[in-house]
Amino acid sequence: MIKKQIQDRELIEHIASLEDDSREVFLLNDEKIRLSAVNATRLVNEMRASHETGPLETYVLGQAYIAGALLSSEVKGNDRIALQVECGGPIKGLSVESWACGAIRGYLVNNPIPLDKPLTTLDTTFLYGPGFLTITKFLEKSKTPFSGQIMLESGELAKDLALYYKLSEQTPTLFLLSLDFDKKGRVWGAGGLFIQALPGCSQEILDSLDEKCKTLPSISKSIAGGVSVKEYVEREFDGLGTKHLDHSPIGFSCPCSKEGFSKYLSSLPKKEKDEILKGEFPLILKCFNCGTDYSFGKEETETLFGD
């Protein structure tokens, strides 16, 4: 992976003034509730720089990256979890993968998102349209991945993720996915919450948390103002027996490499290799997950093909 650098000096300085991106895990209400929280400001801005997304694309894919960072709290070791949306709306879909170690990558199917007219609200319902949401866990000790799927219902990623856990895992769940844009359209703060009921959690506790979350101050605005995500949770959920379990860094990262793409080229059938050699050079191969371009000159390609 070759990261494209953020160019805006003011944005770089602002990000440097914030706490490093991280995922924090807590237990609440006498260990009846599990809460994961992330600060993803650098993550979303690096994703934006690498994928060259506009404000709308950043909003849609940024929410998915925050979700991926939260979902990774469910896996351990070398395990990873994938979030995929396939839909009939203008975005057509998205894919995000996240590892237990905190690495996140992913892409929008349509970037830029084609629109007939400019948006006047952040209602994303029509951007998704009808479709499916799939979550797949790739566990190192399991020979086959575990996968579940639901039909999209709301067109809001946070609500559809909560619906997935309700239907597929029978677990009452709440997601908050938040991005704060400044007046210049820059992501000044990004973060989210993933709240799950644990065995023994009463409906009274769930109802109380649901009401509380409706009045929470914006986590992304708080992060943008210099509040750490750990401070945010301990402040906003004070009195609920908050117990901090885990701290992990998160970041935009992809395991792709030029060596990997070289092996791919070398494995192509001879007919495809011949067609490539007749085409224009340099040959550019793009990693959809991170936006990295890998360039191959003609002599280099001929060597890979054994010609």
Per-residue model confidence as pLDDT tens digits over 135-192 = 999 998 888 999 999 999 998 999 999 999 999 999 999 999 999 999 999 999 999 9
Helix (H, G, I), strand (E, B) or coil at 131: strand
Please state the pTM of the whole predicted model. 0.96
Average pLDDT rounded to a whole number, residues 232-243: 94
Instruction: Say whether pLDDT at 47 is over 90.
Output: yes
In angstroms, how far is CA 178 from the centroid of its own chain?
Answer: 12
DSSP 4: P
Q: Which domains does the chain have, with CATH numbers?
A: 9-252 (3.55.30.10), 258-305 (3.90.1280.10)
The mean pLDDT value of the chain amounts to 95
Supply φ then ψ for residue 187, to 5 degrees.
Answer: -80, 110
What is the rounded CA–CA span in Å between residue 228 and residue 39?
A: 8
**Sequence-separated contacts (24+) of 275-282 with Cβ below 8 Å:** 276/301, 276/305, 277/301, 277/302, 277/305, 277/307
**Mean pLDDT of the region 123-145:** 92
Q: Give the mean pLDDT of 197-210.
A: 90
Give CA–CA dist 233/219, Å, rounded. 9
Q: Which residues pair with 136 in a beta bridge?
A: 82, 147
Q: pLDDT tens digits for 70-118? A: 999 999 999 999 999 999 999 999 999 999 999 999 999 999 999 988 8
For residue 79, what are its two tokens? 């395990």
pLDDT of residue 288: 95
Predicted pLDDT of residue 161: 97
pLDDT of the residue at 307: 58
Structure tokens given for 99? 């590892």
* Strands of 22-28's sheet in order across: 173-181, 187-197, 33-39, 22-28, 243-249
The whole-number pLDDT of residue 95 equals 98
pLDDT at position 293: 96
* Predicted local distance difference test score (pLDDT) of residue 232: 97
Backbone angles phi, psi at 31, to 5 degrees: 65, 30
pLDDT at res. 182: 97
